[in-house]
Amino acid sequence: MATAVLRRLEREAVRAGAGSVVLETGTAQPDAIRFYEREGYTAIPLFGAYAGSTNSVCFGRRLDAVPEVSAAD
């Protein structure tokens, strides 16, 4: 279910004209870190309110690799 939700969010971002997605999770969330890495996200520098945090990990993904949106979406 998590993958389906993530893909839907990515497709909505594509529809809105975004070229990439960035996100933050906590260092105490190893399952989330593995999930995002498995889904094609790569670690990026901490940004915004997370800059300098020792408890945050930020990820990003280009949206040009997101599957096409179907009419059912």
DSSP for residue 67: P
Domains of the chain, by residue range, sit at 2-65
Instruction: State both tokens at 52.
Output: 């300098």
- pTM of the predicted model, to two decimals? 0.83
The CATH number of the domain covering residues in 2-65: 3.40.630.30
- Tell me, what amino acid is at 49? A
Nearest to 27 by CA among 57, 71, 66, 59: 57
Give the pLDDT confidence of 6-54 residue by residue, as tens digits: 999 999 999 999 999 999 999 999 999 999 999 999 999 999 999 999 9
Dist. CA 19–CA 65, nearest whole Å: 10
